[in-house]
Chain A
Amino acid sequence: MTALAPPRSTATPRRRSQAHHEAILFYLCIAPWLIGFLVFTAGPMIASFVLSFTQWDMMTPARWIGLENYRTIFAADEYFWQSLKVTAVYSLFSVPLKLVTALFLAILLNEASRGVGFFRTAFYLPSIMASVAAAVLWSWILNPKFGPVNGALGVLGIQGPGWFTDPRYALWGLIMMSAWGLGGEVLIFLAGLKSIPHHLYEAAELDGAGRRARFLRITLPMLSSTIFFNFVMALIGSFQAFDSAYIISTAHAGTIGSPMNSTLLYMLHLYRNGFSWWKMGYASALAWILFLIILVLTLAVLRSSSLWVYYEGERRA
């Protein structure tokens, strides 16, 4: 611990040794993160890449099989394609549903003058809830016989679907559930809306701009960097969704991804290969494919951002 003594601030000719001393201190301070990054992030990434070329069940020694895992995934694993399809549909619908609803709620909150605290709490509360509790609760709310949703549909004379027992509806149930947890996005949008300078609206109003014009010409462009942030985060999150699909599909002696693999999100397929079937090499290959998919999607969104995201030169200067 002697290295953590204060840098001597007296001697000027010894500036080099002082800088040296400070550098040592810096590396001592960040050592926990640096070690953690190497051991729990960088190392495992390389390891999983190497593992993806092996066959290994953790009991018998690992066997090098080259590209065989990848070949099997693309050519012979029907569950892989099914999980990709399920994840794509989930992402394609849950992300826009979440973002559009969150933006709408944030705009409503921004327009209101009283009771904002109460409404903000109402929209935010679901998102802090344990994913397990939310999944348990929603499987009850969407219970085909006794749940309030189908009950309400029944009053309207509509025969509600079996939701989580019907392969045509199970994924839509999950998408609906995901929208319930949009509280974080609402708060971020609301902060973004609050940071738009008021004089822009006043000037536009003087020029005779209507409500719609103000929204399209001021709110959306000024909010585009916030939309961009929420979009990237929601996209990455949607490709790694796991909890609710796992809990709902395995409940009541069901299998992962049931009914009929209609809720087999990519992470469920990965989990099943790794931790139910102990195919560690195969699961690693699946993980790397997911990683590359997310990377390509994120980069595509980043590249497109110059077309639709407006960054102020001097932000809030």
Chain B
Amino acid sequence: MAIRSVPGRSIAWWRSKTLGRVVHDLVVYALLIVLSVLFLFPFFWMISSALKPQWQIFVWPPQWIPDPIMWQNFAEALGNPLLPFHLFLRNTMIIEVAVLVGRLVSCTLVAYGFARLEAPGKDVLFAILLASLMLPGSVTMIPKFILFNKLGWVNTFLPLTVPSYFGEAYAIFLMRQFFLSLPRELEEAARMDGASTLQVILQVIVPLSVPVLTVIAILTFKDNWNDFMGPLIYLNDARLYTLAVGLAFFNGQYDVQMNLLMAASVVVMMPLIILFFVAQRAFVEGITLTGLKG
């Protein structure tokens, strides 16, 4: 875990002169420790339950550290023939890849247009784009289902992936802001050398925009991973389920074994947690940028 000391605080607490400061820090850290334990406790409970033999789930006081540690719970949870989690993982990854490609390509193109090109009607269109950010998705849910049903796309991944090839307002907005901050000189030089707009985007803009593309890729990956309602509405065949829907189905089964359910939850959750630790900065930046929009 990234523990970063914050520069600019001149005196470490143990050397501080006033008693008030010491009391202040004691209170702050006591609260932080208690609250973070509270926030992390469900994770601990989940992992501990996932590794318990069935009977230890129900003992009180709880068996905090499982004995014996049942690693085979994972194999058993994932190997259930009625719930092919390896298929769910494959389905989820197919959707993820298709959506990531679509969103990054389409949003780069659209954001470039809004950032660099002039045309009548541009301001109105940009205002519409911003307004659509506030639009609740529930109002378009029914007609979209009817549309995809007419196209014969229900029970395929297409309703979940194809729309991403048509841009997404929030990603476009973030990328446009980023493109505006890039110096124009490089683009102009490339144009002098006879590069087309497409070449400028690919050879000049994209290499400079890796940070914002990473942020968007990670937030997109996370949102898709967590998407429940989309797959719930569009996928009926259990062999097409995503991890999220598969886990909900597992949870809804009568007589479910808690330790196996928790093992499956750990498996569903782990990739996101790993991604978070690998790309913590991109996560934090993405969220922070959201809030500083105004």
Contacts and interface: CB of A to CB of B under 8 A. Distances in A.
A120 B287 CA distance: 13
Contacts of B5: 113-114
A64 interface: no
Contact of A40 (B140, B191, B287): B140
Nearest to A198: B8
Given A27-B119, A123-B36, 9 more contacts: A6-B194, A26-B118, A44-B139, A48-B142, A115-B32, A132-B248, A140-B49, A188-B290, A242-B228
Interface in A239-290: 239-240, 242-243, 246-247, 250-253, 267, 270-271, 274-275, 280, 283-284, 287-288, 290
A161 interface: no
Interface stretch (B71-79, B93-101, B276-284): B276-284
25 contacts: A30-B110, A32-B165, A35-B166, A51-B142, A112-B28, A117-B3, A123-B39, A128-B273, A130-B225, A130-B226, A130-B247, A132-B244, A132-B245, A133-B268, A148-B45, A188-B291, A191-B292, A247-B228, A252-B252, A270-B141, A274-B145, A283-B142, A284-B143, A288-B139, A291-B139
B203 interface: no
A5 B197 CA distance: 6
Contact of A122 (B40, B128, B149, B200): B40
Interface of B: 1-6, 9, 12-13, 24-25, 28-29, 31-32, 35-36, 39-43, 45-46, 49, 57-58, 60-62, 106, 109-110, 112-114, 117-120, 122, 125, 128-129, 132, 134-147, 149, 163, 165-167, 169, 172, 191-192, 194-198, 200, 222, 225-226, 228-229, 232-233, 243-245, 247-248, 251-252, 254, 256, 258, 261-262, 265, 268-269, 272-273, 276, 280, 283-284, 287-288, 290-294
A132 B228 contact: yes
A225 B39 CA distance: 27
A45 interface: yes
Interface in A163-204: 180, 183-184, 187-189, 191-192
Q: What does DSSP make chain B's interface, helix, strand, loop or mixed? A: helix
Interface in A194-247: 225-226, 228-230, 236, 239-240, 242-243, 246-247
Contacts of B287: 183-184, 187-188
A191 B293 CA distance: 12
B125 A136 contact: no
B205 to A, nearest CB: 12
A69 interface: no
A26 B146 contact: no
Contacts of A228: 294
Nearest to B134: A298
B32 A40 contact: no
B40 A125 contact: yes
A124 B248 CA distance: 23
A18 to B, nearest CB: 10
A29 interface: yes
Interface string A94-130: 0000000000010011011111111111111110111
A122 B149 CA distance: 42
A17 to B, nearest CB: 14
Given A6-B196, A26-B117, A119 B36 contact: yes
Nearest to A50: B143
Nearest to A105: B35
A33 B106 contact: yes
Given A184-B290, A287-B139, A29 B110 contact: yes
A37 B128 contact: yes
A268 to B, nearest CB: 11
A43 to B, nearest CB: 7
B276 A128 contact: yes
A296 interface: no
A188 B280 CA distance: 15
The 9 closest A-B pairs by CB, nearest first: A36-B166, A29-B113, A188-B291, A33-B167, A23-B119, A44-B143, A122-B36, A26-B119, A47-B143
A153 interface: no
A113 B13 contact: yes
B184 to A, nearest CB: 13
Given A33-B167, A250-B252, A290-B136, A130 B243 contact: yes
